[in-house]
Amino acid sequence: FFYFPETHGISFRIQISVKEVLDTDVLLKLLFHLPVNYPSTVPDISVTSDQLTRAQCMDVREKLLEEAKKHLSEPMVHDLILWVQQHLKDVIKQSATVFNEKPTLSKVTEDGIWMLLLNLDHMRAKAKYVKTVEKWASDLRLTGRLMFMGKIILILLQGDRNSIKEYLILQKTSKVDVDSSGKKCKEKMMRVLCETELQSQHKRFQMFEVKEYSAPEELQKEFETAGLKTLFSEFVSPLLK
């Protein structure tokens, strides 16, 4: 089981079906991460569903976090699941009206754009792993690079802060690779090198791309072109030694 670096705790997934929302059953996938000091701290929650838009999932997540704050210091996961089953209809109705008025992603600008730099130790099932990372980046509207240089594997992501948090949860809790015996396994050898708000000197990546570099100078140039010289010298240079 993978523990979060900043707070040990447990993560678990729950799948629930909510009846007759928008005339169909909605299957919600909820991912709860309970920090070590839970329930005096609210859990981190991720919401996904094939029947809802990304913005609607974000709205459900926000409402669940608001609800969680009312239950501080008492075990709340069960109450939150009951709450979402009873109130999903209302959240989606509100969300739909807001969604129709503003086609842009709601609340993206609230926290500004964030950037995340990850270092992976290895990819045994490389093709499948790369596909998974590309899909997550696309689903969460994140841009950036998956970079290979010799044995070094880096993932640089830019986007909405909530999306970056969700990406981290997916990366840590999904079976993305295979172990030495070929069995599916979770990512246990990942390091978060840097997580920061995008500054004015940093360039926004327009898309997510997978790139291979044949020399450290090429990798360095990629970072410098994006205005990330400091990021390279602080976090990437030590890996190249």
Each domain of the chain, given as residue ranges in start order, spans: 10-97, 113-239
CATH of domain 113-239: 3.30.70.100
pLDDT of the residue at 20: 58
pLDDT of the residue at 9: 67
pTM of the model: 0.55
Give the model confidence (pLDDT) of 138-188 as tens digits: 999 999 999 999 999 999 999 998 899 999 888 888 888 778 888 888 887
Best CATH choice for the domain 10-97 from the list 3.40.50.10880, 3.30.2130.10, 3.10.110.10, 1.10.8.60: 3.10.110.10
DSSP code at position 102: -
pLDDT of the residue at 125: 83
Q: Which residues of the chain have pLDDT under 70?
A: 1-9, 20-23, 94-111
Residue with tokens 């949860």: 169
**H-helix segments, the chain:** 54-70, 77-101, 126-139, 161-173, 216-225, 229-231, 237-240
pLDDT of the residue at 107: 39
pLDDT of the residue at 110: 41
Give Cβ neighbours of residue 82 (< 8 Å, ≥ 6 apart): none
Angstrom distance (rounded) from CA 135 to CA 176: 12
pLDDT of the residue at 75: 86
The secondary structure element, H or E, covering residue 26 is strand 24-35
The helix-helix angle for 161-173 and 126-139 (nearest 10°) equals 150
Q: Are the CB atoms for 139 and 54 separated by under 8 Å?
A: yes
pLDDT of the residue at 212: 95
pLDDT of the residue at 130: 93
